[in-house]
Structure 1
Amino acid sequence: MRGLGAGRRTRRTLARGGSGIAAELNLRLGAWPGVKITPMFGRWGYFVGPRLFACFPLRAKDTDLWIRLSRDDQRRAIESGMVTPHRRMSASGWVESRVENPSQATRALGWLKRSYETAKHIVEQEERR
């Protein structure tokens, strides 16, 4: 049987918790109660319990923030013009927004907070069952 070897090294960006806008989002969202942040498939995944509520690219040159909203919030967010329906997962409430600078990240926090609150509520309901 072959050994697994030493494995890959953790990239410095991952060890530091991201860079650029990703680092800022990780700091802000990581301070919210119950939020876990983990790299997955080239993105930072933001979770409440097992529920993914948003994700942002690991690479600094990628800027598309994905946010999962309730149907009503998704409609309002799209009408606001700040986000667009996600190109593949809009039927599940996902929207996307370009976040290229700190002021855009600050504006996105309102929708991220709504997404977080919805995910937290769903997780709490599932735990009560």
Structure 2
Amino acid sequence: MSEQPGLSVIPEFLSGGGEMGERIRNFNWSATPLGPVDSWPQSLRTCVRIMLTSRQPIWLGWGKDLIKLYNDPYKSIVGGKHPWALGMPAREVWSDIWKDIESMLRQVMEEDEGTYVESALLI
């Protein structure tokens, strides 16, 4: 995915957030299923704000393709896939372990239930 020039006016929900806040602000979201930032639903904006201000590692997978957004603390988890992973479908980012995590992520999406796995750094 490509980057676009920075937003002329930074929406409040995208302010701060360190390196990932800046990357998210400069990313060409129009080239993804999420579309331009100004068209994002309030629910996504709220999730992104919580993620960017958290000191805990967080990634969001949004929409049916689980388009990946993540915060600075999560960079060490995504490792060598950073910054490529931003804006990519989770299936592509985690292709090497997709068979191990697909059913868990499907359960989250279909049954509207959160998930937690002790010592599983990517989830």
User: In which range does the TM-score fall when normalised by the shorter chain?
Assistant: 0.3 to 0.5
**What TM-score results when the alignment is normalised by the length of structure 1?**
0.32
Structure showing greater radius of gyration is: 1
**What TM-score results when the alignment is normalised by the length of structure 2?**
0.33
